[in-house]
Amino acid sequence: MTDTRLEIIPLGGLGEFGMNCMVMRFGEDIIVIDAGIMFSEVGHFGVDSMTPDFTFLERHREQVRAVILTHSHEDHIGSLSFLLKKVNVPVYGTPYTLRIVEPRLEEHHLLPATALRVVQAGETVEVGAFSIEYIRVSHSTVDCCALAITTPIGTIVHTGDFKFDATPVCGNAIDVARLRTIGQRGVLALLSDSTNVERPGQMPSERVVIPALEEIFDRARRRIFVSCFASSIHRIQIMFDLAQQFGRQVVAVGRAMERNIEIAERTGFLDTADLLVNPKDFKHFDPSEIVVLASGCQGEPMGAMARIADRSHRQAWMEAGDTVVLSARQIPGNEKAISKLINRCYRNEVEVIDSTQARIHVSGHGAQEDLRLMLEAIRPKYFIPIHGEYRQLYRHKLFACQTLGYAPDRVLLIESGDVVLLDGETAQIGDKIAVNRVYIDDTCSLELDETLLRDRKRLAYEGVVIAGVAVEETTGALLGPPEITTRGYLGVDGEEEEIAELRDVALSAVEAMPPAERVNGGKEHFQEHLRLALKRHIMRLTGQKPTIVPLVVVV
């Protein structure tokens, strides 16, 4: 690496949805743009989320100058605490974004030691060799920015998540004029969101959902339960506006919903019009006087909406004739959980309305026309699609080449771990660094290694066989027949004949070892001898590989 080249290295977010994390290095200076999570997938036993692998940053920790946040969504800030435990550097972000970050840092006991630097849209910060300008963009949450990053060899624009919404419900519209000015000044490379590249046209404004929601409020005669993402401040503002219009009070249920409403109101992005009431007062209102904003729109078992539907929530419940509005998209992988939530709601004899029945949700990511507008505003020398699975990245490249006439060699199609090298005139893909997923158990906020995950998977699919043997301390004599216990082992649980066969195998293994060796050769050696005997027998008869736990007790 020389002082005349810029490295761009995605640690996550390319070739996958989530874990957005982009590294830029020039000379001895590194900045990190966003640090997000990806939620668990099927087959990840006990895993709640995944973070990027920060080994590269740990290895070069003396060069890391700052983390630059574009906005407050979990796929952009969710792994920040895990990163800061490895590399403690200042964190830059807009006021609302940093307010959302604070409680997460506090949970990890990092808040006092973390330097949070507030940046308003339109301001520029200097970090090492980088000059970073925050530019207002529109998205499904508030206080979101693209970044114009000036380096010694040229300017890089990172869009973050965006769409062209000229009439946002909260805050100011995307700063198109500034984007065009930066484009006219000359941009070396554009890194642009690819999420909705497969959708034609332009993504509508958040205001497009108002008519359908207004109709729902108009015809509802009892309680209205609205579940959306707690980060969807535009949508939440619409609910407060409609509540005021139709003479209803608002109850916020769910920790994330309550916290985000409080932060958005404190930072000036939300006007609750004094309609927000304490959840404890839910029972005091007539059903026609209340609207409930509940988190858990993805059917999370412990989410507020699921507990309300199950009538297990302490402060809110639904009854026959109420209306439930699911005003959010279904995140891929959550379809079954959302279906279960809808079924639970129907058991209460309520009306359920989701985005398949009415236009009550709109994406915060730009469609093809938005992507075209961004490319035309920035007019970069090189274009790098980001944020999406490989098909979105590939389609974004095709879109740029076929629709806007970009030469294929001017569009770099990269994935997480690829290293892009720019020298001001040329761009090329260099060596790839190893990037893995790090698995997180949210109950204890700990990282889980691959071995632990493999063990959990084996236990789930193959079961466990426990073999207990007791021997005399001085002679090594067997004090009784081996005890065999199984859990989840197919074809054996409860079958006394097969249990007896496993007991015989264990007994033969013990008898094959001289008594003196049982105590003098070490317990670990004895246990491994017993484990291998059972493993070979089970594998020969069934082809299965259960986890075998030998327990040798010396009395």
Q: What is the tens place of the pLDDT at every residue in 245-267?
A: 999 999 999 999 999 999 999 99
Could you tell me the CATH number of the domain that includes residue 484?
Answer: 3.10.20.580
pLDDT value for 505: 86
d(CA 370, CA 159): 12
- Cα–Cα distances (Å) from 118 to 1, 23, 68, 90, 122, in that order, read 32, 20, 11, 10, 12
Q: Is 363 annotated as a binding residue?
A: yes
Same domain, 371 and 401: yes
d(CA 547, CA 525): 18
Domain closes at, from 295, 329, 353 = 353
Q: Are strands 144-151 and 249-253 parallel, antiparallel or unpaired?
A: unpaired
Domain closes at, from 353, 379, 397 = 353
Reported as a pLDDT band with limits 50, 70 and 90, residue 43 is: low
User: Residues near 426 by Cβ (< 8 Å), separated by ≥ 6?
Assistant: none
The total number of structural domains that make up the chain: 3
d(CA 498, CA 504): 10
| Gap between the terminal Cα atoms of the chain | 63
Q: What is the tens place of the pLDDT at every residue in 505-526?
A: 888 888 888 887 777 767 788 8
Does residue 457 sit within a domain? no
pTM for this predicted structure: 0.84
- The range of the structural domain enclosing residue 147 comes to 6-201+363-447
pLDDT value for 335: 86
3-state secondary structure of 377: helix
d(CA 437, CA 440): 10
Reported as a pLDDT band with limits 50, 70 and 90, residue 46 is: low
Pairwise pLDDT comparison (164 vs 512), residue with the higher score: 164
**Closest among 17, 267, 235 to 118, alpha carbons compared:** 267
What's the rounded mean pLDDT across residues 341-368?
95
Comparing 158-162, 240-244, 277-281, 511-515, the range with the smallest average pLDDT is: 511-515
What's the rounded mean pLDDT across residues 144-154?
97
Would the pLDDT of 554 be above 90?
no
Does residue 1 sit within a domain? no
d(CA 89, CA 85): 10
Could you tell me the CATH number of the domain that includes residue 303?
Answer: 3.40.50.10710
Q: Is 247 annotated as a binding residue?
A: no
Q: What is the tens place of the pLDDT at every residue in 177-203?
A: 999 999 999 999 999 999 999 999 999
What's the rounded mean pLDDT across residues 433-448?
69
Q: What is the tens place of the pLDDT at every residue in 6-22?
A: 999 999 999 888 899 99
Same domain, 302 and 404: no
What's the rounded mean pLDDT across residues 137-148?
97
Structure tokens at 510: 């013990």
pLDDT value for 480: 83
d(CA 438, CA 436): 6
Would the pLDDT of 492 be above 70?
no
**Closest among 400, 367, 358, 377 to 165, alpha carbons compared:** 367
pLDDT value for 300: 86
Q: Is 138 annotated as a binding residue?
A: no
Using an 8 Å Cβ cutoff, are 228 and 197 in contact?
no
**Closest among 228, 416, 221 to 304, alpha carbons compared:** 228
Does residue 453 sit within a domain? no
d(CA 141, CA 232): 5
What's the rounded mean pLDDT across residues 101-109?
94
pLDDT value for 27: 94
pLDDT value for 1: 44
pLDDT value for 410: 96
d(CA 165, CA 173): 6
Does residue 240 sit within a domain? yes
Could you tell me the CATH number of the domain that includes residue 19?
Answer: 3.60.15.10
Q: Burial level of 523, CB count in 10 A (0-12/13-18/19+)?
A: middle
Same domain, 42 and 134: yes
Q: Order of strands across the sheet with 49-52? A: 38-39, 49-52, 437-441, 446-448
- Cα–Cα distances (Å) from 534 to 439, 503, 523, 544, in that order, read 32, 9, 17, 11
Same domain, 475 and 549: yes
Would the pLDDT of 2 be above 50?
no
Mean pLDDT across the chain, nearest whole number? Answer: 91
Beta strands in 119-227, from DSSP E residues, in sequence order: 124-127, 130-137, 144-151, 154-158, 189-193, 224-227
Would you say how long the chain is, in residues? 555
Q: State the CB neighbour count (10 A cutoff) for residue 120.
A: 11
DSSP state of 305: H
pLDDT value for 453: 67
Structure tokens at 544: 């299965």
Reported as a pLDDT band with limits 50, 70 and 90, residue 291 is: very high
Would the pLDDT of 301 be above 50?
yes
Same domain, 348 and 372: no
- Cα–Cα distances (Å) from 72 to 55, 320, 335, 526, in that order, read 24, 37, 24, 55
**Closest among 156, 154, 151, 115 to 135, alpha carbons compared:** 156
Three-point CA angle 473, 479, 484, nearest 5°: 115
Does residue 385 sit within a domain? yes
Reported as a pLDDT band with limits 50, 70 and 90, residue 4 is: confident
Does residue 73 sit within a domain? yes
pLDDT value for 36: 94
Same domain, 26 and 147: yes
d(CA 411, CA 409): 6
pLDDT value for 467: 87
Beta strands in 481-546, from DSSP E residues, in sequence order: 483-487
3-state secondary structure of 513: coil
Same domain, 134 and 147: yes
pLDDT value for 555: 81
Same domain, 260 and 282: yes
d(CA 106, CA 67): 17
Does residue 132 sit within a domain? yes
Q: Is 364 annotated as a binding residue?
A: yes
d(CA 194, CA 374): 12
Domain closes at, from 386, 420, 447 = 447
Would the pLDDT of 45 be above 70?
no
Would the pLDDT of 503 be above 80?
yes
Same domain, 378 and 316: no
Same domain, 155 and 83: yes
User: Residues near 427 by Cβ (< 8 Å), separated by ≥ 6?
Assistant: 189, 381, 382, 412, 420, 421
What's the rounded mean pLDDT across residues 81-101?
97
Same domain, 185 and 211: no
Does residue 221 sit within a domain? yes
Same domain, 386 and 524: no
